[in-house]
Chains A and B, each alone.
Chain A
Amino acid sequence: MAAAAAQGGRSGGSGGSSGTGGGSSCGTGIGRSGLLDKWKIDDKPVKIDKWDGSAVKNSLDDSAKKVLLEKYKYVENFGLIDGRLTICTISCFFAIVALIWDYMHPFPESKPVLALCVISYFVMMGILTIYTSYKEKSIFLVAHRKDPTGMDPDDIWQLSSSLKRFDDKYTLKLTFISGRTKQQREAEFTKSIAKFFDHSGTLVMDAYEPEISRLHDSLATERKVK
């Protein structure tokens, strides 16, 4: 498919997302070292264990991300992910401080510092739970479309998905937030994962990519979607 041949970019920002099945020759990326080229497998078709629910969801999410970033050339915004990484890093930092302090000053003297670290750690855990439940909400991609005239703020596209345990219905939701009017529109589809994978567990981009494009185009025009 012509659309899938937008392989021209190994987009620098989003690094090694999963590869598509298109039979293309990997003529790009000559500037990098040979070892790095062999490590990245952007061009290899995605093959996963079809009975493993989380692998299926991850590969579908990654492919949707890839379509949106490479075909429509949006820029990925890492704000949400960075927030989560920061909270986790701070929690681990408290744990490491507690470990080292206790090692250097054996137990009874280290009691107040330990108490402080333990309480802070569990507070951070609480913050992390609230963050992932309310702010992140199963959104795995936030992409910006830069306004070509450079005057209006960016439009934001958000992708979120869900796949229940032991279920085969995959729901993908695309949300469009207009930079100018701050209005929000969303569209979603729910399909069985059997429509996108073949017997051996390879993701067939030819079946998946039109779905994403359809979602996108239905939001890109100005009319409201049901």
Chain B
Amino acid sequence: MLSLDFLDDVRRMNKRQLYYQVLNFGMIVSSALMIWKGLMVITGSESPIVVVLSGSMEPAFHRGDLLFLTNRVEDPIRVGEIVVFRIEGREIPIVHRVLKIHEKQNGHIKFLTKGDNNAVDDRGLYKQGQHWLEKKDVVGRARGSSVLLRNNSPHLPQFPRCC
């Protein structure tokens, strides 16, 4: 057996102390996990904090901003609100503004979105044959952001636009 001095501390521990160290690490991970799940339950959204990935919402949101979302059933979606939605078959959610809404008497809605900085609406991004989004595609509505914490560094290099 190699005599590695930094392992001396581990060798000196008995079973209980080793188990306690493992538990300590598990508790740190569990705390982070529980806080995240707790936020999920409180906001009702499956991803309560998201990062803006593209520049399609400038000048409101730049790349790297954090957004805080809620997804409560009682709040209806209205034109002009910023929503985060997921297109069927794609993993990455998209942050854009609602442009048009069709609403039925029973509360069922269909809506169209567009990024502030994009020239056209999002129909080109939706699935083949899909022209409207529905409530089930929504991850959440933006309620707050970390815009004020941004540091005013020089403009980021422009990568090819997506989303």
Residues of A within 8 A of B (CB): 14-19, 35, 38-41, 44, 46-47, 55, 62, 78, 81-82, 84-85, 88-89, 91-92, 94-96, 98-99, 102, 106-108, 111, 114-115, 117-118, 121-122, 125
29 contacts between A and B (CB under 8 A): A15-B15, A16-B13, A39-B11, A41-B11, A44-B8, A47-B8, A62-B12, A81-B16, A81-B20, A85-B16, A85-B19, A88-B24, A88-B26, A91-B27, A92-B26, A95-B29, A95-B34, A96-B30, A98-B33, A98-B34, A98-B37, A108-B46, A111-B41, A111-B44, A114-B37, A114-B40, A114-B41, A118-B41, A121-B34
In the complex, the answer to whether A35 meets B1 with C-beta atoms within 8 Å is yes
Query: Residue B23 at the A interface, CB < 8 A?
Result: yes
Q: Which residues of B contact A (CB under 8 A)?
A: 1, 5, 8-9, 11-16, 19-20, 23-24, 26-27, 29-31, 33-34, 37-38, 40-41, 44, 46
Closest to A38 in B: B1
Task: Please determine whether B14 and A117 come into contact, CB atoms closer than 8 angstroms.
Answer: no
In the bound complex, do residue A122 and residue B34 qualify as a contact, i.e. CB atoms below 8 Å apart? yes
Q: Contact between B27 and A88 (Cβ–Cβ < 8 Å)?
A: yes
Q: A15-B14, A17-B14 given as contacts; is B46 within 8 A of A107 (CB)?
A: yes
Contact, CB under 8 Å: B46 / A99: no
Q: Smallest CB-CB separation from B34: which chain A residue?
A: A121
Specify which chain A residues have a CB less than 8 angstroms from the CB of B11 in the assembled complex.
16, 39-41
Residue of A39, A78, A117 touching B1 (CB-CB under 8 A): A39
Contacts of A94 in B (CB 8 A): 30, 34
Q: How many whole Å from B89's CB to the nearest CB in chain A?
A: 16
Which residues of A are found within 8 Å of B46, using beta-carbon distances? 106-108
- Beta-carbon contact of B14 and A14 below 8 Å: yes
Chain A hits for B34, CB < 8 A = 94-95, 98, 117-118, 121-122
Among the interface residues B5, B9, B24, which one has the most CB atoms of the partner chain A within 10 A? Answer: B9
Q: Report chain B residues within 8 Å CB of A114.
A: 37, 40-41
A206 to B109, CA, bound (A): 81
CB pair A115 B12 closer than 8 Å: no
B16 touches A118 (CB 8 A): no
B103 to chain A, nearest CB (A): 22
Nearest to A13 among chain B residues (CB) is B14
Give the contacting residue for B23; candidates A92, A98, A108; CB below 8 A: A92
- In the complex where A15-B15, A16-B11, A35-B1 touch, is A92 in contact with B30 (Cβ < 8 A)? yes
Q: In the complex, are the beta carbons of B23 and A107 less than 8 A apart?
A: no
Say whether B12 contacts A89, CB under 8 Å.
Answer: no
Q: Collect the chain B residues with CB atoms within 8 Å of residue A88's CB.
A: 20, 23-24, 26-27
Q: Are A85 and B8 in contact (CB under 8 A)?
A: no
Question: What would 5 more interface pairs be, CB under 8 Å, given A16-B11, A47-B8?
Answer: A15-B14, A17-B12, A41-B11, A95-B26, A118-B34
| Candidates B5, B15, B30, B44; contact of A121 at CB < 8 Å | B30
A residues less than 8 Å from B1 (CB atoms): 35, 38-39
Set of chain B residues within 8 Å of A39, measured between Cβ atoms: 1, 11
Q: Could you tell me the distance in whole angstroms from the C-beta of A44 to the nearest C-beta in chain B?
A: 7
- How far, in angstroms, from A31 to B67 measured CA to CA in the complex? 63
- Of all A-B residue pairs in the complex, the 3 with the closest CB atoms, nearest first, are A15-B14, A95-B30, A107-B46
Q: How far apart are the CA atoms of A11 and B65 in the complex, in Å?
A: 58
Taking CB atoms, residues of chain A closer than 8 Å to B30 are: 91-92, 94-96, 121
